[in-house]
Amino acid sequence: MAQCFFILVTTTIAHVPRKPQPKTPAKSQPKVPAIIVFGDSSVDSGNNNAIPTILKANFPPYGRDFPGGRPTGRFSNGRIPPDFISEAFGLKPIVPAYLDPEYNISDFATGVCFASAGTGYDVATSNVLKVIPLWKELEYFKDYKKRLRALLGDQKANYIITEALYVMSIGTNDHLENYYLNPLMQARYSIDQYQDVLVGTAENFLRELYNQGVRKFSLGGIPPMGCLPLERSTNIIRLRGDTCVEKYNMVSMSFNAKISSLVPKLNKELPGFRLVYANVYDLFWEYIHSPADYGFENTGRACCATGRFEMSLLCNQLNPLTCADANKFVFWDSFHPSERTNKLISETLLKTQLKQFF
């Protein structure tokens, strides 16, 4: 979400009111009492709508394939992974944003999202576009616990907190929107050192959540960053427009190896903690390099606008080039996957890493 592109926008896009959320069909007893989400735009269901940042997605064509066809603040044409995961576990088909005024603590009892588009493990990352830092997501969670106890009583609230499945996806912005755009950061740390700082922050965050009663947690890795349409389009050393930037893919793999090492460590050191690693890198790699196997036709260009560098305000209804069928695209905008990609990722994770929580 490189900030240099946002200054090009002069058109003001109004927020479009939403229709009521779809009703959840009758199902058997849920496998977990709630889905609780931390992270960035890959899992933000609309918290950025409520804060003074330019990084929003609450206008068309975002949400055009969401139930009701309305934008919600999700950086997608439709639903995002926590929505699909929630539905698969027998809960609501969407996970609402904590700062969304349309919902209250009763709605949040079965699922809530604290994620904020543009944020990262590093507080400096959230400062780039003035979004919610990870420490603030934690504060919102603590506030949520108090409100949940006031609503349901200690026993039931504690049950929800302990038995809920927690999902976190974060880390891409730390690299692409902070480290590689900040010469001072690069002078202070090598990329290897900076990743160690990020992983240390992640470990502290997970330990604090454990102290808050969290026991079931899915920790997401980051995608092959060099294959994002934005990075393909803006990297001047690329050989072709459809060529992934190998440097950034290597950085992604390095970070994923470091962050996934927390899984055996914390599962051993924290009694009762069930931490799993969600390997999204390999899934994206498969979709991008074997698209026909998954029904995709476009991998290097996104659906919205020209598909090269547009996201947030640059991905808007005024651009006539947006594709007719987002299901044929791995990416919806230059940084975020399409709803179909989100669905495929979720289905695979539910059959693999998340299977133990059913």
> Which tens digits make up the pLDDT trace of 41-73?
999 999 999 999 999 999 999 999 999 999 999
**Residue 142: predicted pLDDT:** 98
Among 111-125, 220-234, 236-250, the range with the most confident prediction by mean pLDDT is 111-125
Q: Does position 35 have pLDDT exceeding 70, yes or no?
A: yes
- Average pLDDT of the residues in 277-302: 97
Annotated catalytic residue, options 45, 65, 83, 336: 336
Torsion sign (Cα): 72, 75, 78, 84: negative
15 annotated active-site: no
Q: Does position 19 have pLDDT exceeding 60, yes or no?
A: no
Under 8 Å between Cβ of 149 and 129: no
**Residue 5: predicted pLDDT:** 35
Can you say whether residue 90 is alpha, beta or left, with left for phi > 0 and alpha for psi between -120 and 50 degrees? Answer: left
- Average pLDDT of the residues in 236-265: 87
Annotated catalytic residue, options 86, 252, 333, 334: 333
**pLDDT band of 242, cuts 50, 70, 90:** low
First to last CA, the chain: 35
**Residue 233: predicted pLDDT:** 87
Q: Does position 232 have pLDDT exceeding 70, yes or no?
A: yes
**Residue 71: predicted pLDDT:** 97
| Measured distance CA(103)–CA(147) in Å, rounded | 13
- Average pLDDT of the residues in 111-121: 98
- Tally Cβ neighbours within 10 Å of residue 196: 14
CATH 3.40.50.1110 fits 28-357, yes or no: yes
- Average pLDDT of the residues in 126-151: 98
Burial of 15 (0-12, 13-18, 19+ CB in 10 A): exposed
| Per-domain boundaries in the chain | 28-357
Nearest CA-CA partner of 146 in 48, 215, 50, 213 = 213
175 annotated active-site: no
- Average pLDDT of the residues in 89-98: 98
- Tally Cβ neighbours within 10 Å of residue 258: 17
**Residue 9: predicted pLDDT:** 35
Which residues, including other chains, have CB under 8 Å from residue 20's CB and lie 6 or more apart? Answer: 68
- Average pLDDT of the residues in 86-95: 98
Q: Tell me which amino acid residue 321 is.
A: L
**Residue 236: predicted pLDDT:** 55
8-12, 213-217, 221-225, 317-321: range with lowest mean pLDDT: 8-12
User: What is the chain's mean pLDDT, rounded?
Assistant: 92
- Average pLDDT of the residues in 257-281: 98
Cα–Cα separations (whole angstroms), residue 210 to 128, 175, 263: 29, 26, 13
**Residue 234: predicted pLDDT:** 79
**Residue 320: predicted pLDDT:** 84
Q: Give the rounded percent of residues in the chain with a pLDDT score beyond 70.
A: 90
Q: Does position 334 have pLDDT exceeding 70, yes or no?
A: yes
Annotated catalytic residue, options 40, 41, 126, 252: 41
Q: Which residue has the higher pLDDT, 232 or 135?
A: 135
Omega before residue 61 within 30° of 0, cis: yes
**Residue 29: predicted pLDDT:** 86
Q: Does position 6 have pLDDT exceeding 60, yes or no?
A: no
**pLDDT band of 15, cuts 50, 70, 90:** very low
**Residue 332: predicted pLDDT:** 98
| Measured distance CA(91)–CA(31) in Å, rounded | 8
**Residue 255: predicted pLDDT:** 98
- Average pLDDT of the residues in 166-180: 98
**Residue 21: predicted pLDDT:** 52
242 annotated active-site: no
**Residue 317: predicted pLDDT:** 87
**Residue 241: predicted pLDDT:** 52
